[in-house]
Amino acid sequence: MGNTLILEFEKPIVELEKRIEELKIFARERDLDLSDEINNLQVRCDKLKRDIYSSLNSWQRIQLVRHPQRPTALELIDLIFDDFFEMHGDRLFGEDSAMIGGIALFKGEPVTVIAPQKGRDTKENIERNFGLPHPEGYRKAIRLMKQAEKFGRPVITLVDVVGAYPGIAAEERGQGPAIAEAITVMGSLQVPTIAIITGEGGSGGALALAMGNRVLMLENAYYSVISPESASIILYKNDQHAKEAAEALKITSRDLLEMHVIDEIIPEPLGGAHKDPKQMANLVKEALDRNLSILKALSKEELVASRYERFRVLGAIAAQ
């Protein structure tokens, strides 16, 4: 990728890569054999990458999942599923392009796929309201979930959303009730539900689509009750402490696995999903396939009961 945005913590890697490139050119121009030096640097560079990317703090991971080149839902859907057929509208008020949904094939079998959709550039972001859904987006999701249940299709959600849109019209049309209903409906479906947090898991707007029998999460994704910036404003009266707030909120995939909020971490290609979307999709496919076959063996009643139990224990306080 040519003009990839370079994040602050990636600078040492980029520096080293530049030196290797320069050395290669120098060797070619002077016709020198510098392959030992170049190999050495390459080994150092690979180690540096592994070191940096494996020890990212919460704030650095947030920057990675907000990377402008991070694959959006549509790109991932294209790589994970076949023949995605999109369906529009909530049949109540309108069409919300910040939320997409439809039927696709996974390993030859139809599934319902639902996801908030961010834009890939400014123009697309304006069209898609920066991937911030209105109530009609959540109601479209609810409609498609019920459709999936009717036809016995599993529901797969890909969740990358800063949050539900905070706006006048959104409030007037019932953003709160729409989210509550999506939580309830997805949480009660008699078909397998798998949620994959692929980027930003922003509060209620993400939870509305994350009521999975299994909740999977990409390595660098976060899932939080509040954005670190907003938490910083509440705690420190300004947004300059988002980094500390991000740590305190415990929002990384590892934190959440420990708390059993998620069931599994899907590893990302070195440096993040955007470095190799195809490999990312393959890793998702593997996890999806494995989890789906476990869930397919369960009866409708077992699916509903085990999902209830899965969420029943989260933050439960022992009987006193």
Partner 1 sequence: MFKDLFRSKPKYVTVRPNRQQDFSEKKEIPDGLWVKCDKCSNILYKKDLERSFSVCPKCGFHFVLSAAKRIEQIADENSFEEMDADLETADPLGFPSYMEKLKKYQEESKMKDAVITGRAKIGGIKTVLIVIDFNFMRGSMNTVVGEKIVRAFETAVKEELPVVVISGGGGGARMQEGVLSLMQMARTCLAVEKHSQAGLLYIAVLTQATMGGVYASFASQADIILAEPGALIGFAGPRIIEQTMKQSLPEGFQTAEYVHDHGHIDHIVARPFLKDTLAHLLAWHVR
CB of 126 to partner 1, least distance (A): 14
CB of 110 to partner 1, least distance (A): 26
- Cβ proximity to partner 1: between 139 and 275 the closer is 139
CB of 218 to partner 1, least distance (A): 16
- Cβ proximity to partner 1: between 73 and 179 the closer is 179
- Cβ proximity to partner 1: between 158 and 249 the closer is 249
CB of 273 to partner 1, least distance (A): 21
Q: By CB under 8 A, name the binding residues for partner 1.
A: 164-168, 170-177, 179-181, 183-184, 187-188, 203-204, 207, 211, 223-226, 231, 234-235, 248-251, 256, 259, 261, 307-308, 311-312, 314-317, 320
From the list 222, 181, 220, the residue with the least C-alpha distance to 52 is 220
Residues 6+ away with beta carbon under 8 Å from 284 = 76, 80, 196, 218, 266
- Cβ proximity to partner 1: between 54 and 320 the closer is 320
Residue 252, token pair as written in the block: 């990384």
- Cβ proximity to partner 1: between 27 and 248 the closer is 248
- Per DSSP, the three-state class of 85 is strand
CB of 46 to partner 1, least distance (A): 34
Element (H, E) at 313: none
From the list 224, 239, 212, 209, the residue with the least C-alpha distance to 99 is 209
Spatial separation of the C-alpha atoms in residues 264 and 254, rounded to whole Å: 9
From the list 175, 178, 157, the residue with the least C-alpha distance to 166 is 175
